[in-house]
Each structure stands twice: as C-alpha cells, then as structure tokens.
Amino acid sequence: MRVVVRQLDRRRVGEIDADADTSPARVTTIDTGEEVFLDWERAFDDAGQLRRCIICGSEDLFQQKTFPQITPFVIVLAFALSLIGVLGFVTDIAILIGMTGVLLLDVAILFFARTRLQCYRCRSQYSKIQIADYHKRWDRATDTRVRLGDSSRKQDPVRRLRARDEFNS
C-alpha cells in the first residue's frame, strides 16, 4: 500500500510504500528521506483490510474519491463549449463533436477515479489497498469529534446506579 504520511498537526512528512505482510516497524519516506515509525498493532481486521491508521493509531478512517489532474481542465472546457453553443456563436457540427468528445472524456475520468482511505486524526492517506465496507465517506460530526480529542468510537453512556439510601419509599 502507498501511504502519504502526515503528522498529528497534519503537516506532510512524505510518502512510503508499506508492506502489510512484513509489517516493518520503521520505514524511510521515498521523497524526503525521513524515518517514520509504524504502529501495526490491530491495524487490520479479520478480512485483511485496514481498520486503523498505522501512523497515529486512530480507528476513524473515511473514504475519499481521487480524480485525475486533468479534471479541472475538462470542466472548464465543457463550460466553454456549452457557453459557445448557448450563445449561438457556433451552431454547426463541430461544436456537437467537441461536446461529445468532452462528454466521453468526462465519463472516462469518472471511470478512472480511485478511492483511498484517509485518517480523520492525522489526515494520512492510504491508496492501493482494499477498502472495507464499514469505512464511510467523510462525516462532519466525526471530524469534529476527532478534532476535539474525544474518544475514537462512540461508547455507551455509563449507567449510574443509585444507592439504596436514595430511593424514596
């Protein structure tokens, strides 16, 4: 798996290629040469899918779609072609062929979009892995809870038992 490593303050450290089979405790980033210590303890579920961040240990991960870098160019091109067509500057077959080409390019971009995991706590990104179904899309409530430092999972409220003296007869 490929991991973009970030610190708890979400500052980018570098990228690593982590092998889950060997589970190295220490790796060196590819681009910056810094050493990173990995926490493999309980990082994978029974199906072999990542359930915890190996950088900070948080159990709160979310799915995120990644689009190729050409996507903004295609959006601007589609807007320009539709504007030309609506204003009537060009009404021949050329604009129809151009818009069809942009539509096919847009569909191809959606087809090649990849999904990656990202940690709520440190924002480290995991790609080239299988993603479990229990990892959902980004959620504002979870992000706020993790940012404020609450526990990583919702817990049942503690029931307070009343002493016998507190009961009124």
pLDDT in 10s for each residue of the chain, 169 residues: 899 999 888 889 999 998 888 888 889 899 888 888 888 888 888 888 899 999 998 999 999 888 777 777 777 887 887 777 777 776 677 777 777 788 788 778 778 778 899 999 999 999 988 888 899 999 999 989 988 876 555 544 434 344 445 545 4
Domain regions of the chain by residue span: 2-67+115-150, 71-111
Q: Could you identify the residue written with the tokens 């307070």?
A: 160
Q: What are phi and psi of 87, to 5 degrees?
A: -75, -15
The residue whose two tokens read 């069809």 is 100
Query: What was the pLDDT predicted at 90?
Result: 67
Residues forming beta bridges with residue 2, ordered by sequence position: 17, 127
| Whole-number pLDDT of residue 67 | 75
